[in-house]
Amino acid sequence: MENRKIYFDNASTTYVGNEALREMMPVFSNIYGNPSSLHSFGRDAVNLVDIARDRIAKAIGAKASEIYFTSGGTEANNLAIKGLAYANRHKGNHIITSCIEHSSVLEACRQLEKDGFIVTYLKVDSHGLINFADLLHHINSNTILISIMTANNEIGTIQHMQAIAETAKEREIIFHTDAVQAVGSISYNVNAMGIDAMSISSHKIYGPKGVGCLYVRDGVKIQSVIAGGKQERGVRGGTQNVPAIVGFGKAIEVAVRDMSVNNKKIKTIKEYFVKRLTESISDVYINGHPAQRLQGIVSVSFDCVNAEAVLTMLDMQGIAVSVGSACESGTIEPSHVLKEIGLDDVLAKGTIRFSFGKSNTKEEIDYLIETLIPIIEKLRNISPLRKKKRKED
């Protein structure tokens, strides 16, 4: 039992699925040409990259010419925010995003602010949804870009994509969405959904790390944000990571093919977890929207305990979870997302993200709950806040 290891951190990253792995492995040693080379080695590599590009395009209802490979979600978001902003600067300098975006979007926006752009960070309600009227209120004639994540990586809330996209389209504003956490759980058709640009990462959908892409609708202007060669039609210099791109292409194909089966499985696991958790432990709060959400992410606030202490105790029993999100460890500041949905400091610092994947089982949930009950009890016994709260009650 001591050596048991269970992974409930699938929103941080996933293992590489068999089908993706099988396709990418031979590429490392056999198809090693540089896709930019003119000889047969290069052509072989470019063929593989093209196949992957087709698969990704097909998975989201885009054209292959609209897919630009990057090193992952962070780079895709940087390219989207900065590349779209600079390429369209002649039309205006105002950008609208939300305050619960991934740090790669928020930090890219902050960089742009230093360069004369004006950025509006829309607030969210306690479920993590932006207010549509608020969005309309902030749009002005200088607005060139709206960037709103499809689903939040910490609390799982899914935004009203259609309404945002339509609003942007009517006003000829570019609409970008960070879909890193949502791809594989939500089906996309960029045309039907009116999405002009979209960031995707491979390692959240059982593909390899170090690769992702940005979809940009043909006709939407974007410029490169790193100096380099003419790869990816001049939008992203640097030799393509061919084996990873091959794995990514297969991974997204598999993710879309198996989406309904996986979603069903994950929903069952998640509902079982929530039921057992709320039955077994008092004073727990589930964050995010109750219905409009990714099934795989459950953000739970445990009153009067510190999340790092909970995580460490779970880790000692072989169970992997996250505090807030993997990108924001440390104990000084609770995650910006949890603050923005209005959690008080103690609850925000007592928040654990459980994220489920296609291989988790109900039996693993049982083990998690049985492990979690004594941990929370132990930490609450140690906590001086617990007693005070009880007295106040």
Q: Does 46 bind another protein (CB under 8 A)?
A: no
The tally of CA atoms less than 13 A away on the side-chain side of residue 60 is 34
CB of 3 to another protein, least distance (A): 17
CB of 305 to another protein, least distance (A): 7
CB of 114 to another protein, least distance (A): 27
Interacting residue with another protein among 218, 290, 384, 391 (CB under 8 A): 384
Q: Which is nearer to another protein, 197 or 319 (CB)?
A: 319
Q: Which is nearer to another protein, 65 or 381 (CB)?
A: 381
Q: Does 2 bind another protein (CB under 8 A)?
A: no
Q: Does 162 bind another protein (CB under 8 A)?
A: no
CB of 304 to another protein, least distance (A): 6
Which of 109, 213, 304, 327 is flagged as catalytic? 327
Rounded to the nearest 5 degrees, what angle is found at the Cα of 236, between the Cα atoms of 232 and 238? Answer: 90
Number of residues that bind another protein (CB under 8 A): 21
109 catalytic? Reply is: no
Give the span between the Cα atoms of 193 and 196, in whole angstroms. 9
Q: Does 179 bind another protein (CB under 8 A)?
A: no
Q: Does 283 bind another protein (CB under 8 A)?
A: no
Q: Does 383 bind another protein (CB under 8 A)?
A: yes
Q: Does 164 bind another protein (CB under 8 A)?
A: no
Q: Does 387 bind another protein (CB under 8 A)?
A: yes
Interacting residue with another protein among 110, 136, 316, 362 (CB under 8 A): 316
CB of 337 to another protein, least distance (A): 18
Q: Does 131 bind another protein (CB under 8 A)?
A: no
CB of 331 to another protein, least distance (A): 5
Give the span between the Cα atoms of 168 and 284, in whole angstroms. 38
Q: Which is nearer to another protein, 345 or 366 (CB)?
A: 345
Q: Which positions from 285 through 314 interact with another protein, judged by CB under 8 A?
A: 304-306, 308-309, 312-313
Q: 336-365 mask for another protein (x: CB under 8 A)?
A: ---------xx--x----------------
Q: Does 332 bind another protein (CB under 8 A)?
A: yes
Which residue type does 219 have? G
Q: Does 330 bind another protein (CB under 8 A)?
A: yes
Catalytic positions, please? 327
- Applying CB under 8 A, the residues found at the interface with another protein are 304-306, 308-309, 312-313, 316, 330-332, 345-346, 349, 379, 381-385, 387
